[in-house]
């Protein structure tokens, strides 16, 4: 197992290399240097062009406003659910209901939400005409609203499950259950006690995931294309628009905008961090003032439950609506249900879908396979060596904190210059940059908390390090590994920007197709692709839970409880 010694270094290089290269690849063209397109001298022309674009101020404002609000609201809902229900049976039910949402790709969730909320969507249909009197869809601006409210809603329903699961993992590090009990015996309400005692311990543990959510939200592309403002769109969407302009001269301007996006994200992160400090300062007296706040529980507990239900419901009904659309014949407003159901859409899309599924699965398997090998090697290295490795591996978060739209275009430019033809290998390699952090995040906790005594016993029986790894640790952690693979696969399936840009639009995956179709408004075809896009990770998770169970069906001790 001496190879594991190099694993952390290799992993860090594989993750940070593309990010750094990508950043260089946009910074140079942002200042006019890109010989392949005739930019031979440094200039400020791209910045001048960018500043001349009349929508710049609003686009930046859209990005910050939607990203920061979405993060704030998602965090608030997450904490409210935790404060109101942690430790109860209801809490287990909430997490069970929310966690599948984690695997739903952002684009699929957005398309479903768009159908649900549109004036001609399912909610309006369900209420018309009996409650609303609407015989025709009302002329209301909901999806693509200029304030980005629908985009915020979309981001929130996708980020709450992520933050909740990250928090649950973090809570196991602090003795929250007993602390909470103590506050209650001192007369604090459940929520007040949680906020005053558990939250200050929990927040530092989930700061990094919160920051990742913030960085993601201010720079998201696929969800913003489907739900976000359009006149102008958010900065990230506009960058993509310029990157895809047939007039290659727009690449310079797009690069300058990508650099700006980097600053926007950095500014948002910094502002968030400063606000954190401010809140901590200001709340100090309140925390110790002794107000018990028992009345809060009566109102806030049902509210928390309602918000959790709303998140689950929005995604579930949105996707169910798209599923129905994919089988729908004529389906006029305000009918709640199509007049006829048929297989025509699936039949017609069969060829395209099969192709997209194949590409999606191949890329997903390549990226996930590489990620799991690297993760295991890193964890093994960390286990056998020291905490320095563990600290170094914090670098894994880098690709989650640097906006994709800020460095993937640069990476694309570099592959162009290097003359590397787009291929599934190249796409998978870039997916790895995003898949690996999530695989690592989901596997590291179970790996680190593995009962080492099993290893000690095996060593005592004469097993070598590598034999302990292969014959004891891997089998015992097979379920955690399978779940990490499923998480990685789901991450790969959901990648829009890297797939689109790195493949130069030549490789169609379920996600690139679903997002491209999203603008077209053919709900039947959108429904088919969104459904397939959602089912791909779902199958991954089903296999992840099924295979270990099947493998160890005659091992009493390995039974999943």
Partner 1 sequence: MTHYHTADAVTRVVSEKTAGRDTGGAVDAIWINGANFISMKENGLLFGPFAEELPNWRYVDTTANPAVLTDFTVPVEGFGAPWAMFQMVFEYDSASLSEPPKSAVALTAWASANPGRFTYPQPPDFLGTSFLKQLLYGVLEDPEVLQSAIVDTDYEAVTAPLWAYLDNLHPNLWRQGQVFPENEPALGALLADDEIDIAFSFNPGRASAAIADGTLQDTVRTYVWDAGTIGNSSFLSIPYNAANKAGALVLANLILDPEIQARAQDPAILGFQTVLGMDLLGVEDRARFDALDLGIATLPPAQMGTALLEPHPDWMTRIAQDWTARYGTAP
177 binds partner 1, rule: CB under 8 A = no
Residue whose C-alpha is closest to residue 432's, from 358, 375, 484, 368: 368
Q: Which residues contact 133 (CB under 8 A, 6 or more apart)?
A: none
As a whole number of angstroms, the distance between CA 159 and CA 410 comes to 27
CA distance readout (Å), 210 to 30, 61, 301, 550: 30, 21, 23, 37
Q: Rounded to 5 degrees, what are φ and ψ at 385?
A: -115, -110
Q: Which residue, 231 or 453, has its beta carbon nearer to partner 1? A: 231
- Smallest gap from residue 352 Cβ to partner 1 (A): 12
* Smallest gap from residue 335 Cβ to partner 1 (A): 11
In this structure, are residues 537 and 103 in contact, taking their beta carbons and an 8 Å threshold?
Answer: yes
Q: Does 230 bind partner 1 (CB under 8 A)?
A: yes
Report whether 103 contacts 541 (CB < 8 A).
yes
* Burial environment of residue 184 by CB neighbours within 10 A (0 to 12, 13 to 18, 19 or more): middle
Sole residue written with tokens 């270990």:
548
| Percent of the chain as helix, strand, coil, to the nearest 5 | 75, 0, 20
Which is closer to partner 1, CB of 473 or CB of 523? 523
Nearer to partner 1, 184 or 344 (CB): 344
Candidates 41, 131, 289, 330; binder of partner 1 (CB under 8 A) is 330
Site for partner 1 in 91-130 (CB under 8 A): 119-120
Does 231 bind partner 1 (CB under 8 A)? Our answer is yes
CB of 220 to partner 1, least distance (A): 18
354 or 522: whose CB is closer to partner 1? Answer: 522
Q: Is the dihedral of CA 156, 158, 164, 169 positive or negative?
A: negative
Which of 73, 96, 66, 99 lies closest to 156 in space, CA to CA? 73
**173 touching partner 1, by CB under 8 A:** no
> Considering beta carbons, is residue 144 or 491 the nearer one to partner 1?
144
Q: Which of 17, 129, 146, 546 binds partner 1 (CB under 8 A)?
A: 146
| Smaller CB separation from partner 1, 53 or 450 | 53
Q: In this complex, which beta carbon is closest to partner 1, that of residue 47 or of residue 331? A: 331
Output the six-digit token pair for 543: 């296999």
Question: Helix, strand, or coil here: 495?
Answer: coil
Q: Does 523 bind partner 1 (CB under 8 A)?
A: yes
Tracing tokens 């960058």 back to the chain, one arrives at 239
From the list 342, 354, 358, 423, which residue makes contact with partner 1 (rule: CB under 8 A)? 342
CA atoms within 13 A on the CB side of 132: 16
Q: Which stretch binds partner 1 (CB under 8 A): 90-98, 141-149, 170-178, 371-379?
A: 141-149
Shortest separation between residue 346's beta carbon and partner 1, angstroms: 14
Contact pick of 72, 137, 355, 422 for partner 1 (by CB under 8 A): 137
d(CA 55, CA 183): 52
Residue from 66, 69, 86, 144 binding partner 1 (CB under 8 A): 144
Distance CA 19, CA 35 (A): 21
Quick check: bond before 188 cis, omega within 30?
no
**Out of 250, 333, 346, 538, the residue judged to bind partner 1 by CB under 8 A:** 333
Q: Where does this chain touch partner 1 (CB under 8 A) — which range of 101-109, 449-457, 460-468, 518-526?
A: 518-526
Which range binds partner 1 by CB under 8 A, 134-142, 271-279, 314-322, 464-472?
A: 134-142
Among 35, 133, 246, 462, binds partner 1 (CB under 8 A): 246
- Is residue 346 involved in binding partner 1 (CB under 8 A)? no
With respect to partner 1, which residue has the nearer C-beta, 56 or 362? 56
**DSSP three-state, residue 41:** coil
* H or E segment and range at residue 246: none
Size of the residue set binding partner 1 (CB under 8 A): 33
d(CA 501, CA 366): 18
Backbone angles phi, psi at 340, to 5 degrees: -135, 155
Residue 210's closest CA among 258, 268, 263?
268
Tell whether residue 301 is a contact of partner 1 (CB under 8 A). Answer: no
336 or 388, CB closer to partner 1?
A: 336
Residue 522 lies near partner 1 (rule: CB under 8 A): yes
Query: Measured between alpha carbons, how far is residue 56 from residues 62, 258, 335, 431 in Å?
Result: 10, 12, 41, 30
| Interaction of residue 58 with partner 1, rule CB under 8 A | yes
The 3-state secondary structure of 449-492, one letter per residue: CCCCHHHHHHHHCCCCHHHHHHHHHHHHCHHHHHHHHHHHHHHH
Region of 272-280, 286-294, 303-311, 516-524 interacting with partner 1 (CB under 8 A)? 516-524
* Of the residues 17, 38, 55, 200, which one makes contact with partner 1 according to CB under 8 A: 55
The reply on whether position 337 binds partner 1 by CB under 8 A is no
Alpha-carbon distance of 526 to 518, in angstroms, equals 6
87-95, 132-140, 183-191, 533-541 -> range binding partner 1 (CB under 8 A): 132-140
Mask for 496-515, x = binds partner 1 (CB under 8 A): ---------x----------
Length of the chain (residues): 561
Among 340, 354, 449, 466, binds partner 1 (CB under 8 A): 340
Decide: is 524 part of the binding site for partner 1 (CB under 8 A). Answer: yes
- Within residues 461-490, the interface with partner 1 by CB under 8 A covers none
Contacts 24+ apart (CB under 8 A), 455-461: none
Query: Is residue 298 classed as helix, strand or coil in its secondary structure?
Result: helix
Cβ-based nearer residue to partner 1, 172 or 245: 245
Q: Does 251 bind partner 1 (CB under 8 A)?
A: no
250-258, 310-318, 329-337, 548-556 -> range binding partner 1 (CB under 8 A): 329-337
Scanning 52-60, 68-76, 376-384, 528-536 for contacts with partner 1 by CB under 8 A, the matching segment is 52-60
User: Which spans of this chain sit near partner 1 (rule: CB under 8 A)?
Assistant: 53-55, 58-59, 119-120, 136-137, 139-141, 144-146, 230-232, 246, 329-330, 332-333, 340, 342, 344, 505, 519-524
């Amino acid at each position: 197992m001496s190879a594991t010694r190099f694993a952390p270094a290799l992993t860090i290089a594989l993750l940070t290399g593309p990010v750094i290269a990508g950043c260089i690849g946009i910074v140079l063209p942002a200042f006019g240097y890109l010989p392949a397109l005739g930019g031979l001298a440094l200039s400020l022309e791209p910045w001048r062009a960018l500043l001349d674009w009349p929508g710049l101020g609003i686009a930046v404002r859209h990005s910050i406003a939607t990203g920061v609000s979405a993060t704030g609201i998602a965090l608030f809902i997450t904490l409210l659910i935790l404060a109101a229900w942690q430790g109860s049976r209801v809490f287990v039910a909430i997490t069970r209901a929310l966690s599948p949402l984690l695997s739903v790709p952002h684009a699929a969730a957005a398309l479903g939400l768009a159908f649900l909320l549109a004036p001609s969507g399912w909610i309006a249909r369900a209420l018309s005409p009996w409650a609303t009197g609407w015989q025709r869809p009302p002329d209301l601006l909901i999806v693509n609203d200029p304030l980005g409210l629908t985009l915020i809603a979309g981001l929130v329903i996708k980020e709450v499950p992520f933050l909740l699961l990250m928090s649950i993992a973090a809570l196991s590090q602090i003795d929250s259950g007993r602390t909470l009990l103590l506050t209650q015996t001192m007369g604090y309400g459940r929520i007040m006690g949680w906020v005053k005692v558990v939250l200050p311990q929990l927040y530092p543990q989930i700061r990094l995931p919160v920051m990742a959510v913030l960085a993601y939200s201010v720079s998201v592309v696929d969800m913003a294309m489907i739900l976000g403002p359009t006149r102008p769109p958010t900065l990230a969407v506009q960058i993509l628009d310029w990157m895809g302009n047939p007039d290659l001269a727009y690449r310079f301007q797009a690069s300058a905008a990508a650099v700006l996006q980097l600053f926007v994200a950095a500014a948002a992160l910094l502002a968030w961090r400063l606000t954190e400090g401010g809140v901590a300062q200001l709340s100090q007296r309140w925390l110790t003032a002794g107000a018990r706040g028992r009345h809060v529980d009566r109102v806030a507990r049902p509210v928390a439950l309602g918000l959790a239900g709303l998140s689950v419901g929005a995604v579930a009904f949105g996707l169910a609506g798209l599923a129905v659309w994919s089988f729908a014949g004529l389906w006029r407003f305000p009918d709640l249900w199509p007049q006829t159901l048929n297989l025509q859409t699936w039949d017609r899309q069969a060829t395209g879908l099969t192709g997209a599924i194949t590409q999606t699965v191949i890329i997903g398997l390549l990226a996930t396979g590489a990620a799991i090998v690297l993760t295991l090697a890193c964890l093994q290295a960390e286990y056998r060596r020291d905490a320095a490795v563990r600290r170094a591996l914090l670098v894994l978060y880098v690709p989650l904190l640097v906006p994709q739209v800020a460095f993937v275009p640069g990476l694309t430019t570099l592959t162009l210059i290097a003359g590397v033809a787009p291929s599934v290998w190249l796409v998978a390699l870039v997916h790895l940059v995003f898949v690996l952090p999530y695989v690592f995040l989901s596997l590291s906790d179970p790996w680190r908390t593995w009962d080492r005594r099993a290893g000690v016993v095996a060593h005592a029986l004469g097993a070598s390090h590598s034999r302990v790894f292969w014959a004891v640790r891997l089998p015992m952690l097979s379920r955690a590994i399978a779940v990490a693979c499923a998480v990685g696969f789901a991450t790969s399936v959901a990648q829009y920007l890297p797939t689109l840009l790195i493949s130069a639009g030549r490789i169609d995956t379920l996600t690139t197709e679903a997002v491209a179709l999203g603008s077209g408004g053919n709900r039947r075809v959108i429904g088919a692709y969104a459904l397939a896009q959602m089912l791909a990770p779902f199958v991954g998770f089903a296999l992840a839970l099924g295979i270990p169970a099947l493998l160890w069906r005659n091992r009493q001790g390995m039974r999943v409880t």
